[in-house]
Amino acid sequence: MPEPKQPEKLIDDKGIRIDGRRLDQLRPIKLEVGILDKADGSAYIEQGKNKILVGVYGPREAHPKHIALPDRAVLRCRYRMAPFSVDERKNPAPSRREMELSKVIRESLESVVLTDLYPRTTIDVFIEVLQSDGGSRCAGITAASLALADAGIPMRELVAACAVGKIQGHMALDLSDAEDKYGEADLPVAWVPNANLVTLLQMDGILTPNEFEKGLTMALDACKTIHGMQQEALKKKYLVIKEVAEEREETEVVA
Amino acid sequence: MMVIVAEPKQVVAPGELLAEGDHVLGDNSFKVGTRIFSACIGIFEVDGTRVTVVPLKGGYFPRVGDLVGGRIVDVGLSGWTVDIRAPYEAMLPASETPGPRGPRRRDLSESFDVGDMVLSQVLAFDRTRDPLLTVKGPGLGKISNGRAVEISAAKIPRLIGRKGSMISMLKRETGCQITVGQNGVVMVWGKSPENERVAVEAIYMVEREAHTRGLTDRIREMIAKSNVVGEVARTQTA
């Protein structure tokens, strides 16, 4: 399959992007929690055409033993793209890019997980990108922090992440694949709301200081929105069981 | 000043603001300045000035004195390695089994072999050492009959209930003897396989619906519908 062709314009005359969004609009996001039975915690995210599955295991015994730390848990993280996740088959061997993303995602999650409660153990996070559409590291962080929470691992709070970028001279929120490829800059941001910490900040391309500041504000606003959706998705799992169980009781009383 | 921000008895997410002021910090809560946050997904509970989050998910973390059900995974020269569903390998030394002291020639696998279930107690554990178990004590040791149910350790407090209300109801209504391991291993001995089946089903129901209201009543009803003869009925027929 050939590479998607470069669109003539990333933004039309009315300021609408190729997928019909405004510059400050997120792609539709769907979040689900606890969909894997065998994992201790799991989450699934769809953000635009991104489809990412995250499984969390632990805290569990550290293997090989020498990686264990005496005072806290080791957080291990693997970001991986399925061979079928992109237009042209991706070589399944871990690439330089995947290793880098695994590292930055791990570092962005490490700042919220209370690892000192579980010395000499590991917590493993597996992020599997099933379909990729730009901004998958951010979607991966969003889903991974949900999966950690679903595993019942104590953490300060959920991490929300979102990218901004520059296309045709304008700052735009949550770049899609084409916008990322043919745009001028990309700026992924992960944010921890209560502590007001930025735990991931990368950039490629060139931005002026003003553009950077505008972009960061847009990204943080988007993270706030995503954070709300994360909390809702996490609680939904239990509220659904609660509703079903308590409703069943009511009908029984009537009967 | 002390203010409760979140609504008690409701599900809270990690990082959710629970309260502000000089509350006593319970489990799964932490303080930043004067603000108290939740550290996990759970039910928010207020008890006087103490704020706690009762977790809805999570593994077992050993505590000294806990009763735990485990499986033998290895037999060594001086003891056994036991899987107690914790992030650490537990050791059961031969010296902590009942019987005569002193050096023994016999093979340890004669007492417990790989795959055996043992009910034991955590003798020692801290952050620097793996848990040490003992089977000296009433009711402890190898389990060779009954049924073992494994549920999430986070749901054990609910299975026991306030002052043991849930577990005593289960025992009474199903006519089964039930031993609850703090690590989520629950042993059930019934007078018939049917009684055991109902008890196991009820235990799974507690795990699934631990955070709902009126659970004890719903479970009592479920057991009543299954026509299993519990303790009360047995004394009547006897």
Q: Is B1 helix (H, G, I), strand (E, B) or coil?
A: coil
pLDDT for B85 equals: 95
For chain B, how big is the Rg over CA atoms in Å? 21
Q: Determine, for residues B209 and A239 on separate chains, whether the beta-carbon distance falls below 8 Å.
A: no
CB contact under 8 A, A149 and B11: no
Q: Please report the pLDDT score of residue A183 as a whole number.
A: 93
- Name beta bridge partners: B36: B19, B31
Q: What pLDDT score does B236 carry?
A: 45
Within 8 A by CB and 6+ apart from B108, the residues are B75, B76, B77, B78, B79, B80, B94
Record: contact A238-B128, CB cut-off 8 A:
no
**Lookup result for tokens 């994992």:** A39
Q: What is the average per-residue pLDDT within A110-124?
A: 95
CA angle B19, A227, A121 (to 5 degrees): 80
* pLDDT value of residue A4: 63
pLDDT for position B98:
87
Confidence grade of residue A119 (pLDDT, cut at 50, 70, 90): very high
pLDDT at B50: 94
- Residues of chain A with Cβ-Cβ distance to B17 below 8 Å are 194
Interchain proximity B37–A156, CB inside 8 Å = yes
Q: Is position A208 within any domain?
A: yes
Return the pLDDT at B103: 60
Which chain B residue has its CA at the smallest distance from A59's CA?
Answer: B87
Instruction: Specify if A4 maps to a domain.
Output: no
Report the gap between the CA of A49 and the closest CA in chain B (Å).
27
Residue A66 lies in a domain: yes
Q: What is the DSSP letter of A155?
A: B
Instruction: Kindly report the CATH number assigned to the domain that includes residue A122.
Output: 3.30.230.70
Q: Where in chain B is the domain with CATH 2.40.50.100?
A: 2-55
Distance separating alpha carbons of residues A50 and B59, to the nearest angstrom:
31
- CATH class (in words) of the domain with range B67-143: mainly beta
Q: Which helix (H) or strand (E) holds B196?
A: helix B193-208
* ipTM passes above 0.85: yes
Whether pLDDT at A142 is above 90: yes
Across the beta sheet with B177-180, what order do the strands follow?
B147-150, B185-189, B177-180
* Partners of B53 in the β-ladder: B44
User: Would you list the DSSP string of A176-228?
Assistant: -HHHHHHSSEEEEEEEETTTTEEEEE--EE---HHHHHHHHHHHHHHHHHHHH
Element holding A42 (H helix, E strand): strand A41-47
Beta bridge partners of B37: B17, B30
Residue of chain A nearest B33, judged by CA positions: A195
Helix and strand totals (H; E) in chain A: 4, 10
Once rounded to an integer, what is the mean pLDDT over residues A52-70?
A: 95
Mark yes or no for CB contact A155/B58 under 8 Å.
no
Contacts of A31 (CB under 8 A, 6+ apart): A43, A44, A45, A142, A143, A146, A229, A230, A232, A233
Structural class in CATH, domain B147-228: alpha beta
The interface residues of chain B toward chain A in range 56-95, judged by CB-CB distance below 8 A, are 56-59, 61, 87-89
As for how many domains chain A has, the answer is 1
| Position A22 in a domain | no
DSSP E strand boundaries for B144-237: 147-150, 177-180, 185-189
- Mean pLDDT for each consecutive 10-residue tract of chain B (238 residues)? 88 95 93 94 92 92 96 94 96 88 70 94 94 94 93 92 92 93 95 92 93 89 83 48
Q: What is the domain extent for residue A235?
A: 29-254
Q: Are A198 and A167 in contact (CB under 8 A)?
A: no
Query: Which residue out of B29, B150, B212, B220 would a mutagenesis test of the A interface target, given it has the greatest number of A Cβ atoms within 10 Å?
Result: B212
Task: State pLDDT tens for residues A198-242.
Answer: 999 999 999 999 999 999 999 999 999 999 999 999 999 888 888
Residue-level pLDDT at A6: 77
Interface test with A, best of B57, B60, B83, B215 (most A CBs within 10 A): B57
Encode A60-75 in three state secondary structure.
EECCCHHHCCCCCCEE
Residues of CATH 3.30.1370.10 domain(s) within chain B? 147-228
Q: Is the CB of A121 less than 8 angstroms away from the CB of B87?
A: yes
Identify the CATH assignment for B2-55 out of 2.40.50.100, 3.30.429.10, 3.40.50.2300, 3.10.180.10.
2.40.50.100
How far B229 CA lies from chain A's nearest CA (Å)? 22
- Assess B128–A contact: CB distance below 8 Å, yes or no: yes
pLDDT of res. B31: 94
Whether residue B57 contacts residue B66, with contact meaning beta carbons closer than 8 Å, is answered with no
What percentage of chain A carries pLDDT values higher than 70? 95
Dist. CA A11–CA A25, nearest whole Å: 13
Residues of B in contact with A43 (CB under 8 A): none
Q: Which chain A residues are within 8 Å of B127, Cβ to Cβ?
A: 71, 119-120
Cβ pair B17:A149 closer than 8 A: no
Count CB atoms within 10 A of the CB of residue B226: 16
Query: pTM value?
Result: 0.91
Write out chain A residues lying below 8 Å of B32, CB-based.
194-195
**Residue position matching structure tokens 């040490």:** B132
What are the pLDDT digits (tens) for A155-173?
Answer: 999 999 999 999 999 999 9
